Structure 1
Amino acid sequence: MKKCFLLLSFCICFLLLQPAISLAAVIINEIAWMGTTNSSNDEWIELFNNSETEINLNGWLLKSSDEKLKINLKGNIPSQGFFLLERTDDQTVPNIKADLIYKGSLSNNGEALILTDNNGAIVDQADFQDGWLSGDNKTKQTMERTSSVKSVSDTGLTLWQSSQNVGGTPKETNSQGIINNQKLITNDQLVMSEALPTTSTSTSASSVSSSASASTSEITEAASLQITATTNSSQKQIVYPKNIFINEILPAPEGPDDKNEWVEIFNANDFAVNLAGWQIKDVVGATKTYTLPNNSQIPANGFLLIPRTDSKITLQNNGDGLGLFNPKSEMVDQVAYSSAPNNQSYSHSPNGWVWGSILTPGAVNKASENYKQTSPIITEQTATAASQAAMSNNIASAAAQINNFAPRTSHLLTFVLGLIIALISAIIVFFLRKKSKN
């Protein structure tokens, strides 16, 4: 009898351990929602196994939230390996054998994909019901997870990018992504004549700016600086200004999050800019896209504060990311973090992004006060290098913190559950042995 109970305890522990092992192991890694250069119907999806063991996918399911797409998975995915799902036939991705052929299609307007294991537990999901965050339908560059963020399902933080390669990287390591030609301005390079004294987070986005505010004529000029360029064919083409950045965010404020969170934008140009039609998107939880209204004027070398009461964007305390897009849907800046300290803002500093307890909404970040503030003199080459290095360090830091945290949490829960089951089994065995002696 004792042996039977010990065997039963072992089996229960094994069943509990199995889902815990697979929970953060397999992720949705790349999505060719736009098809290929051969055909828009040639869609494919790639999974990645971030664990150290091969995983059997029999009984697993990949589906859309409306279940119009429903793929029953089968087969094995190797450790640190890929699993390629091709639509309709094995000719979708030439010269690369599919692991599974499926039927159904992805909407070009967005989908919410959910990956569940053989117990029905959600292992990973990619929620883009409001539109695909990355990928290009014209060039057929796929939407892929950033190469430095592999397994982040436990915290919800997921970062996506458009592949550098036309056709993506099926069954290969993801690319470095498209590096936007943006100029990263650290706060020691900001030009401000005086910081705003305001600390209100309920102010409308259009009402907060630096004291170096633009006059009506400057704002009128800014509207034309979004910029109307005349081509040789006499057709007008809008060119949106660069040097617009996410400068400071407050994810975990003191008091109610839904009233006190905010995002700050900085205009490093020497002219005012109207940000009407620009968008801010977050990537975690119930993702939200906020389109800035017509009165979103930001003065030269000034700030625009966007409270959560206006944007409705929820900054997750356990990790999130934001992207800033111009009206042509070009990403001009982005930021990611893995965990937000209470009542500290995440802001640009001369040493990159840092957490700080001194909040400076609508004003120069406190970390920059010890540095001489001069007009930014940045060449195209140094700007691109600075942007790429800063973004890579930021995402890598977030990924490292996540990867260090998630396994410890999963293993601790598994250990506690196993210990509880072992204690219960021991008690049962003790009483049965006592009863048999009597």
Structure 2
Amino acid sequence: MIIAILVLLFLLTPKEVQAIQTGIVLNEIFAPTVSDWVEIYNKTDSEINVSEWKIEDTATTPIKVFSSGTIIGPRGFLVVEVASRLNNSGDIIRLVTKDGNEIDIFEYTAIVPNKSFARLPDGSDIWTEADPTKNVSNGEGPPKQNLIQKTGFITLSEFMPSPAGGSEWAEVYNPNTFELNISGWKIDDIDGGSSPFTIPTDTKINAKSYKVFSFSSKLNNSGDSIRLLNPSGSLAEKYDFSDTQKGLSFAKDTKGAWQLTTSPTPGSVNKITFAQGALGISLGTDDPTNPRNTLFGVEGENTNKPTLSNQTIRNYIKGPSSNGKVAGIAKLVNENNKLSTLAIAAGVSFILTALVWPILENKLWKK
């Protein structure tokens, strides 16, 4: 009986309203000044406790950790002043619970002077460039021309520096699950080389799709770099390649490694058929089937969404030799085989010596 009463009291005791995943969102972000701020919004009709929640960006230290007892009222706003913490050239803002669960995220590639990024109406899925409305409602709906499609990024997937005929070309890949406007992104060669090719206004690329751009005399056949720059001019990806072969393209395989292939596939999934080796250095991140970690532009995935801060340099020796073995790997295998043979021979000699020497020593001693 006592246990039943205690259980009943526990069930009837008022408890804190816990945040639900869809209840709190990033609602407005203002980044163009030294007085940046982030606004979050409670979409529900109940109070929500956000104690120890965090607002984070790409830095290792959180922008803000909410103190114990922080509550946002029904349909209420909470503004966090962040000084000049947000980057004008692009940043990622995350809302994270005290347990480390990511509740909301917003990414931008460049700021618009005197404008904020805002959800219109409040808490909706539509982001727009708007006049700042700090700590108050953003309004009912944006002008159609100001609508911002979901933010995302693209990656290099394949390029042809030495075509057998026609123009040079480069292919980009949209790893996101939504259509993306890629106007203003740039494809360039080595820093300080030719002028970059700018992707034209209102160019869109479908989700998980490829788009090819042609240009002339940009990539040097004797070796060069190909770079992908975002609309603000920041480096998104870079690949350095050595001598090219006419009619062969460089394409990413399913692990994101650049390979020289004899089967160019502009506008579609890459097909790697090996040619004689090429050496290159790849700077980049991610995998194309994972929107948070995607730079490969091929089917299949690697799940590492490295950000710019943890980019890696990879060296690759590519292509099969004439006997069907992979050039560079076959040589290594042969050398290892030689070492293994020597090691085995040395071991056998040692064992034989250990067995025979006592017999010889005994005979010699008797003499």
Name the TM-score, length of structure 2 as normaliser.
0.38
Larger strand percent: 2
User: Which structure is larger by alpha-carbon Rg, 1 or 2?
Assistant: 2
Name the TM-score, length of structure 1 as normaliser.
0.32
Larger helix percent: 1
- Name the structure, 1 or 2, with higher relative contact order (CA <8 Å, separation 6+): 1
